Amino acid sequence: MLQRYAVLGNPIKHSRSPQIHQLFATQFGHQLQYDAIELPIGRFSESLRDLVEQGLKGANVTVPFKQDALAFADAQTERARLAGAANTLVFEEGRTLADNTDGAGLVSDLQRLYGALSDTHVVLIGAGGAARGVVLPLFNAGVGKITLMNRTLERAYELADMFAEHGDICAISINAVTEKPADIIVNCTSSSLHGELPGVSAELFRGVAFAYDMFYSDDKTTFLLFAEDAQPNIRTADGIGMLVGQAAESYRLWWGVEPDVAKVIESLRP
Ligand code: NDP
């Protein structure tokens, strides 16, 4: 039987989620209808209730509705609650479960590209929704220390306080350097969207093995070019694998199977 899923956002036209979920469905021979649906701003709950009545089984949720999605649900996973946002909804027997799979997407991509995360030191640049969503999953994957940096330092302090009971976490200003080089630096800001740099110093990358930009594009991002310039031999990657990874985790929740992520990432590359 054809099962209906969707990604909900505004705007949503350019979402790659329908393509990714169809590629997963092909791997398992599932019959799937997965649409990109633009919901009107300010009418998330009413619009979603209509879709659920029409038979929607699950949804991915993106900007600007991730907080609305969390509030809509009857139950929330811990990682969604701590992220303060949901990107995945499951509709079952008249109830809605909210989850957040962004952090799992980042963790699986770092493990694929860098290796085991146990006892690593990870620097997160940014303190917005994306950074907040990945802190707990990184600690749960064994990361030993997280240093937060943000243009607005106060927001980094707030995040560090929020997660202090979950692991070794601190905040430093955006142009500071860590005492010892980090193992991995992740750009969780939206600076690359506008071809800008987040304001960190080149020195931050000295001795660092791996730099990751959550933003993804067909061309190498300004942040990754900066990292390669600052530290020759540094390995770099953008966030396309995180996107596929979060989709795979949603797919697992809905269908109970684990898609082959690497194959799908490969087919999305230009
Ligand atoms: P938010 O709007 O919640 O946060 C934006 C963050 O970026 C803040 O920390 C802000 O700093 C910082 N920032 C923005 N512009 C600049 C700049 N020019 N210089 C320095 N800092 C800047 O966005 P999100 O956290 O939701 O998303 C961040 C990025 O992550 C986006 O590019 C998004 O596309 C990407 N993302 C990728 C995913 C994937 O699957 N690959 C999943 C989720 C997000 P300040 O606090 O000072 O304003």
pLDDT tens for each residue of the chain, 270 residues long: 789 999 999 999 999 999 999 999 999 999 999 999 999 999 999 999 999 999 999 999 999 999 999 999 999 999 999 999 999 999 999 999 999 999 999 999 999 999 999 999 999 999 999 999 999 999 999 999 999 999 999 999 999 999 999 999 999 999 999 999 999 999 999 999 899 999 999 999 999 999 999 999 999 999 999 999 999 999 999 999 999 999 999 999 999 999 999 999 999 988
Contact 211, 234 (CB under 8 A): yes
Atom number in ligand 1 closest to CA 192: 32
Give 150's Cβ-side CA count (13 Å radius).
22
Coil, helix or strand at residue 18: helix
Distance 254 CA to ligand 1 centre (A): 28
DSSP structure string for 122-181: EEEE--SHHHHHHHHHHHHTT--EEEEEESSHHHHHHHHHHTGGGSEEEEEETT---SS-
What is the whole-number distance in angstroms between the Cα of residue 198 and the centre of ligand 1?
A: 10
pLDDT on residue 270: 80
Task: State whether the beta carbon of 133 lies less than 6 angstroms from ligand 1.
Answer: no
Active site members: 66
Q: Is 191 in the pocket of ligand 1 (CB under 6 A)?
A: yes
Q: Whose CA is nearest to atom 29 of ligand 1?
A: 190
Ligand 1 centroid–CA 146 distance in Å is 17
CB atoms within 10 A of CB 5: 23
Average pLDDT along the chain = 97
Q: Ligand 1: does its nearest atom lie under 6 Å from the Cβ of 193?
A: yes
Q: Using the atom order of ligand 1, give the atom closest to the CA of residue 241.
A: 41
Ligand 1: centre distance to CA 128 (Å): 6
H-type alpha helices, 17-152: 17-28, 44-53, 66-72, 78-83, 102-113, 129-140
CB of 155 within 6 A of ligand 1: the answer is yes
Q: How many CB atoms lie within 10 A of CB 216?
A: 17
Atom 43 of ligand 1, nearest CA residue? 130
Question: Which ligand 1 atom is the nearest neighbour of the CA of 246?
Answer: 40
Q: What is the Å distance from ligand 1's center to 193 Cα? A: 9
**Residue 142 neighbours by CB distance under 10 Å:** 14
**Ligand 1 close to Cβ of residue 67 (< 6 A):** no
